[in-house]
Amino acid sequence: MNISRENLGDLDLSIKIEIAEDDYASKVAKQLKEYQQKATVPGFRKGKAPMGMIQRMYKAAIVSDAVQDLLSESLYKYIEDEKLEIIGSPLSNDEKTGTPDFANAKDFTFFFDAALAPEVKIDWSKVNTTLCSIKLTAKDVDTQINDIAQRFGKFETPEVVGEGDYVYGKVAELDKDGNVKEEGFNTFCSFPLTDLKDAEMASLFVGKKAEEKVVFNPAKAFTASNIEKNFRMDAAAAKKFKADVEFTLSGCSHITPAELNEELFEKVFPGEGIKSADDFRNAVSAQIEKANDEQCQILYVNNVRKQLLENFDAVMPEAFLKRWILARSNENDVTAESIEAEWAEKYVPSLKWELLDGALNKIQSIEPTHADIVAAIMDILRKTDLKKEEEDEKQYEERLTQAANTIARDRQNVQQLADKLYVEKTFALFSAQLKPEVEKVSAKEFSERCK
């Protein structure tokens, strides 16, 4: 076998693979012998058909399979041995190769088109973005503690609506005369009375029972985002909706907040031995700060990557890549014309992302490994799956390791965790290269920057 390549330009390659009969003959002979032993041919006992007949019946197909296997194996081994950093995957050049005659020919020549990945040079000096740090207020901690108390509280379904309850019912749009509008907005909805803008509006619902009605104006009662959420409207429709509605109560629910005691502390932070309200508050504060830091890291990574892409100036082998995208697509609506039309807007950005990731991984690995994912799952399990009384430390670790490996094998189930690890590793790389300035911002300002 002989493999050679020809440079067709700065990035485009033509790979030529010459396969001689000696390269595949022994494998074909072995398979023909196996076919002869198993074949049932009319007029002959099983395994006694002449080899000449077996060759006429099966040789072409066997040669084709043997050559194709050899071709695929040798092509990718050549790319690996030569350390060719290709983009996409090689494409068969059928025009140069022609149609192989596996029935009669002994030697074969195949041609493949390929393209090298362009060199991506990262200029860190062109990146200028700060790392946000969200200011944590006492109110933020109070809100989180209240949410926790609600989440672990006692759920009840009283007959009469009380202050702060969650109400369920049917809402129907009214016309200008106060009658239900034919073909108007009509849906089942639910919302907490705390979503209402003021206590006076909430008092309209307090004391009501099932089947009783409340007439109110959502535009006055809710923010536009709450109309969108509670009535399941799109954002534009929620902003435009100004009519009164009739709400027919179906029922309500009430949550009695959990007491701030050791039982609750252990449920929220198992195994951490929190005994006092002050320690619980400190733990909640740390939890919020950790979550805030993660959000700030995501924003920072996105901003840096955006600037790196804006300064991306590597020239890509467009003609090859368009052929490659078309060849690998299984969608009927993907055509050469559609790829051309969507090239700049759809395909180029994703290809740049891929190339940029490759360049970053050369500096420092940012792609989470199986071991990274298992370790992260282990950390989660240690907080939720506590050691059993009959287990020693070694047995406990072995059980968690086995469970973590089982979970990690299904990548779809751990994709969110893998994405989180990717951000952490990318942030570590960017921080080491850029040493960003930290900018303190409010939660509201941070939300604005994320838009």
Question: How many C-beta atoms surround the C-beta of residue 416 within 10 A?
Answer: 8
Residues 168 and 232 in one domain: yes
Residues 295 and 373 in one domain: yes
Q: Is 163 helix (H, G, I), strand (E, B) or coil?
A: coil
Residues 61 and 161 in one domain: no
Mean pLDDT taken over the chain: 92
pLDDT in the model for residue 442:
94
> Averaged over 114-126, what is the pLDDT?
93
pLDDT in the model for residue 154:
94
Residues 304 and 192 in one domain: no
Domain residues for the domain of 77 are 2-115
Residues 303 and 204 in one domain: no
Number of domains in the chain: 3
**Got the DSSP string for 385-423?**
SPPPTT--HHHHHHHHHHHHHHHHH-TTTTHHHHHHHHH
Q: Where is pLDDT greater, at 4 or 198? A: 4
pLDDT in the model for residue 413:
82
Cα–Cα distance for residue pair 27/33, rounded to 1 Å:
10
Residues 295 and 370 in one domain: yes
- Answer whether residue 386 shows pLDDT above 80: no
pLDDT in the model for residue 41:
79
CA distances from 88 to 68, 111, 185, 400 (A): 20, 17, 51, 39
pLDDT in the model for residue 382:
85
pLDDT in tens, 351-381: 999 999 999 999 999 999 999 999 999 998 8
- Answer whether residue 218 shows pLDDT above 90: yes
Last residue of a domain, one of 84, 115, 146: 115
- Whether residue 225 is contained in a domain is answered as yes
Cα–Cα distance for residue pair 378/392, rounded to 1 Å:
17
Residues 251 and 269 in one domain: no
Residues 424 and 277 in one domain: yes
- Whether residue 145 is contained in a domain is answered as no
Q: Band the pLDDT of 430: cuts 50, 70, 90.
A: very high
* 251 and 165 Cβ atoms separated by less than 8 Å: no
Q: Could you tell me the CATH number of the domain that includes residue 102?
A: 3.30.70.1050
> Averaged over 79-85, what is the pLDDT?
94
Residues 228 and 268 in one domain: no
Last residue of a domain, one of 67, 98, 115: 115
- Answer whether residue 222 shows pLDDT above 80: yes
> Averaged over 376-402, what is the pLDDT?
87
- Whether residue 320 is contained in a domain is answered as no
Residues 193 and 81 in one domain: no
pLDDT in the model for residue 270:
85
Identify which of 235, 229, 248, 228 has the alpha carbon closest to the alpha carbon of residue 180. Answer: 248
Q: Is 357 helix (H, G, I), strand (E, B) or coil?
A: helix
Cα–Cα distance for residue pair 336/193, rounded to 1 Å:
55
Q: Band the pLDDT of 329: cuts 50, 70, 90.
A: confident
**Amino acid residing at 88:** G
pLDDT in the model for residue 400:
92
Percent of the chain at pLDDT above 90?
79
Question: How many C-beta atoms surround the C-beta of residue 429 within 10 A?
Answer: 18
Question: What helix, strand, coil percent values describe the chain, rounded to 5?
Answer: 50, 15, 30
- Whether residue 295 is contained in a domain is answered as yes
Last residue of a domain, one of 115, 144, 176: 115
Residues 57 and 175 in one domain: no
- Answer whether residue 67 shows pLDDT above 90: yes
> Averaged over 150-160, what is the pLDDT?
94
pLDDT in tens, 403-424: 999 999 887 888 999 999 999 9
Q: Could you tell me the CATH number of the domain that includes residue 218?
A: 3.10.50.30
Q: Following CA atoms 151, 152, 153, 158 in sequence, which dihedral angle do they give, to the nearest 10 degrees? A: 60
pLDDT in the model for residue 207:
96
